[in-house]
Each structure stands twice: as structure tokens, then as C-alpha cells.
Structure 1
Amino acid sequence: MRTSQDRFADAITAFAGTMGFVYVHAVWFAVWIALNLRLFGSVAVFDPYPFGLLTMIVSLEAIFLSTFVMVSQNRQAARENVRADLDFETNLRAEVWAVHIGKALGLSPQEIELHVQEIIQQSKSAMEPGSGVPPVPPDAL
């Protein structure tokens, strides 16, 4: 449910993060400087050294680009929050189903939780560098 403003900000941000953006600016700056250093004659000069107009335009562009990036980052953060909520709900549903299935099979949820905690601890120990603890084998799960 993006607005046209969101789509515009995303498009600007997507383009600003490419090498095409860099190339366009390199050519733009080179042409601007060449024109204003009288390489094409004195008639073409419109922003003599130290290129005050170019400096102002680049500064304004930086302000707007940073704003577009922040808008896109805010939208991305909102999407991540929705994903996190969905992941939480999915995990909670799976946990509830697993407990009910375990009970139907006559398994003790407390014993299973104790076993899970042991495997988590062993897995964490195995991930520490130089621990020498072997990873949990699949048949031990």
C-alpha cells in the first residue's frame, strides 16, 4: 500500500545506489567544469571558478537524497516490523501445535523443554571458537 510519494522516494533511492548514478554525476561534473573553465570558449561560461552554483546544486541534491534515503529506510523498517510480527505469530502457532501434538502422543512438555535447553546450550558451546565441543548430531535431537 505505497503512495505515489513512497514509490517516488523508493525509485530515487534505488537509482542513487547504483553505479549509473555515479557515472551520470561524473559526466555532469566533468561537462560543467569543462564549460566553466573556458575549454569551449568564453561564451559557454555561466558559473566561473570556484563554481558556486554547482556547489549549491550539489548541496541541495545531497539534502534531498538524504531525505529520500530516510523515507525509504523508514518504510523498510515498517516492513521489517510486519515481518517480525508474522514470524512471531508463526512461531507461536507452531509451538502451540507442537505442544498439543506432543500431549496427544503422551510426551511431557517439561521433559522436551529440558532436552531443548540442553541442545541449545551444547550448540552455543560448539559455536564458540576453540571450544572443542562437537556440534549436536542430528540423531540426538
Structure 2
Amino acid sequence: MDKSSKNILNSEKEQLAKLQKIVEKTIEEEKLMADNLLHEPEEIMSRGQKISDKVASFGGSWKFIILFGVILFLWILFNTLALKNLEFDPYPFILMNLILSCIAALQAPIIMMSQNRQEEKDRKRNENDYLINLKSELELRSLHQKVDLLLEEQIQILIKSQSEQLEMLKKLQKKLDHK
């Protein structure tokens, strides 16, 4: 193998090595970002936030609805069927209405607090998704530019090697013509 062929092969190996390093670096950066997203730092919540989340999760469950329905049914049943001296809330159940109103008045803002916190979490998640998409787009652009640069270098090397080969062919042609 002559010198120009070795140069061509060496330059191709160098180009492939550069390209491989670029791809490996990009993959490593993407892995770091994915690890950071999978292992998010834990959210620090105050006692009130923890309570509002628990109240909202219990207050919006079938367990709460069924339990509350059973309690109301027993309340009404007891106050309807009990002896007059044992009744604590006779019909029209004014005490029950007062308690229900108080529960609703307290439960609504607590659930709203929990929903607001969840909305903030969703907003942060959406911002992270946007930033990830933006970073991916920038990385793709960067990779395209690097690949284009490598291709340009390869084309220049090929043109140079072709010109060298053409010169060699001309020399061979001259030698053949002189014989």
C-alpha cells in the first residue's frame, strides 16, 4: 500500500474517531439529564400542606362518601326512631345541617390548597419538559453541525486523494507513453 492510500485510511479513521467521541459525549450528557429527572429531589412540605393533601385525598374518595352516607343515615335513623328524651337532633335535623355546613366550609378551602399545590407541581413538570425538549433540539442541531463539519473534512480529503491519484495516473501515463 502506498503513502497516499495510507493517508486516506488514516484520515478516515481519524474522522470516525472524532464522530464516535461526539456521539459518546452526547449520549453521556443525555444519560446525566435522564438520571436527574428520574431521581428528582424530594419536595419539602409543611405540616399544613401534608394535612391538606391527606384531607383532599380522603375527602375525594369513595371511602369518605360511603362512610359519610352511613353516618348521616344512622344519624337520621336514630333521631327519628329514638325516644323523645334520647333524641339530640329532632326533625328537621338543624344540628346535622349545621355540622354539614361547617364540614363543607372547612373542606372546600383545604381541597383548594391541595389543588393549587398540585397545579404548581404540574407547572414545574411542564417547564422541565419544555427545557428537555429545547435541550434535545439544541443537541440535535449541534450534532448536525458536527456531522456536517466532519463530512466537509472527509470530502476535502477525498478531493485531495483524488487529485493525488490523478497525478499518479498522469505520471503512469507519461511513463507508458515514453516506452
Normalised by the length of structure 1, the TM-score is 0.71
Q: Distance between the aligned counterparts of 2:139 and 2:115, measured in 1?
A: 36
In the alignment, which residue of structure 2 is the partner of 1:51? 93
1:75-112 Cα shifts (integer Å, max 9, x gaps): 011101111111111111111100000111119xxxxx
Q: Which of 1 and 2 has greater Rg?
A: 2
Q: Extract unaligned runs of 5+ from structure 1.
A: 108-141
> Which ranges of 4 or more aligned residues in structure 1 deviate by more than 4 Å?
none
2:41 aligned residue: none
1:15 is paired with a residue of what secondary structure? Answer: helix
Instruction: Give the equivalent residue in structure 1 for 2:79.
Output: 36
Within-5 A mapping of 1:1-141: 1-37=44-80, 39-106=81-148
CA shift for structure 1 position 42: 2.1
Q: How many residues of Structure 1 are paired with residues of Structure 2 in the alignment?
A: 106
Instruction: Give the fraction of aligned pairs with identical amino acids, expressed as a percent.
Output: 29
**SS of 2:148's equivalent?**
coil
Unaligned runs of 5+ in 2: 1-43, 150-179
Compute the TM-score of the two structures, normalised by the length of structure 2.
0.56
Structure 2 letter corresponding to 1:35: F
Alignment RMSD (CA, Å): 1.3
The 2-side partners of 1:68 and 1:74 are apart by 10
Higher relative contact order (CA 8 A, sep 6+): 2
